[in-house]
Chains A and B, each alone.
Chain A
Amino acid sequence: MNIIELENVWKIYSMGEVEVHALKGLSLKVKPGEFLAIMGPSGSGKSTAMNMIGCLDIPTKGRMLHEGQDIAALNEKELVKIRGKKIGFVFQSHNLYPTLNAIENVQLPMRIHEFGEAEIWDKSEELLGLVGLSGRARHYPSQMSGGQSQRVAIARALSTNPLLLLADEPTGNLDTEAGKEVLDIFSQLNSRGVTVVMITHDEKTAARANRIVRMIDGTIAS
Chain B
Amino acid sequence: MKLLDIFLLSLSHVKKSRMRSWLTIVGVIIGVASVVAIISIGQGMQENVQQRLGGFGADIITVIPGYFRATGVHSEMHTDRSVSTSSSINLSDRDYRVIKQVPGVLYVNGLVSGKADLKYDNEKTVVSVTGVDTSVWRLMDTTGLDEGRYLQAGDSNSIVVGYNLAHGTFLQPITLNRPITIGGKNFRVVGILKQSGGFGGGSDTGIYMPSEIARDVITEKVSNNQFTSIVIKASDATLVEYLKADIEQKLMSSRQVNPRTKDFTVIASALIREQMSSVTQTLSFFLSAIAAVSLLVGAIGIANTMFMSVMERTKQIGLLKAMGAGEHEIMKLFLIESGIFGLVGGIIGVIFGATISLLIPYLGIQALGFGGDMRATITTGTIFFALGFSVVIGILSGIIPARHAARMRPVDALRYDQ
Contact = CB atoms under 8 A, between A and B. Distances in A.
Interface stretch (A90-98, A169-177, A180-188, A199-207): A90-98
B322 A89 contact: yes
A154 to B, nearest CB: 14
B327 A76 contact: yes
Interface residues of B, number: 25
Interface residues of A, number: 28
B316 A112 contact: no
A54 B322 contact: yes
B319 A95 contact: yes
A156 B322 CA distance: 12
Nearest to A94: B315
A113 B326 CA distance: 10
B19 to A, nearest CB: 14
Nearest to B416: A94
Interface stretch (B5-13, B105-113, B178-186, B383-391): B5-13
A98 B12 CA distance: 9
Contact of B321 (A80, A104, A156): A80
Interface in B92-147: none
A112 B1 contact: yes
A59 interface: no
Interface string A143-175: 000000000000010001000000000000000
Given A77-B326, A100-B12, A112 B411 contact: no
A99 B2 contact: no
B410 interface: yes
Contacts of A109: 323-324
A77 B328 CA distance: 10
A134 to B, nearest CB: 22
Contacts of B9: 97, 99-100, 108
A99 B410 contact: no
Which of B319, B325, B326 has its CB near the most chain A CB atoms (within 10 A)?
B319
Contacts of A156: 323
A83 B13 contact: no
Contacts of B414: 56, 91
A190 B410 CA distance: 27
A89 B323 contact: yes
30 contacts: A54-B322, A56-B322, A56-B410, A56-B414, A57-B411, A76-B327, A80-B324, A83-B322, A83-B323, A83-B410, A84-B324, A84-B325, A89-B323, A91-B414, A94-B316, A94-B418, A95-B319, A97-B9, A97-B319, A97-B320, A98-B16, A98-B316, A99-B9, A99-B16, A104-B12, A108-B9, A108-B320, A109-B323, A112-B1, A114-B2
Given A85-B324, A100-B12, 13 more contacts: A83-B322, A83-B323, A83-B324, A84-B323, A89-B319, A94-B316, A108-B323, A109-B323, A112-B1, A112-B320, A112-B325, A113-B1, A113-B324
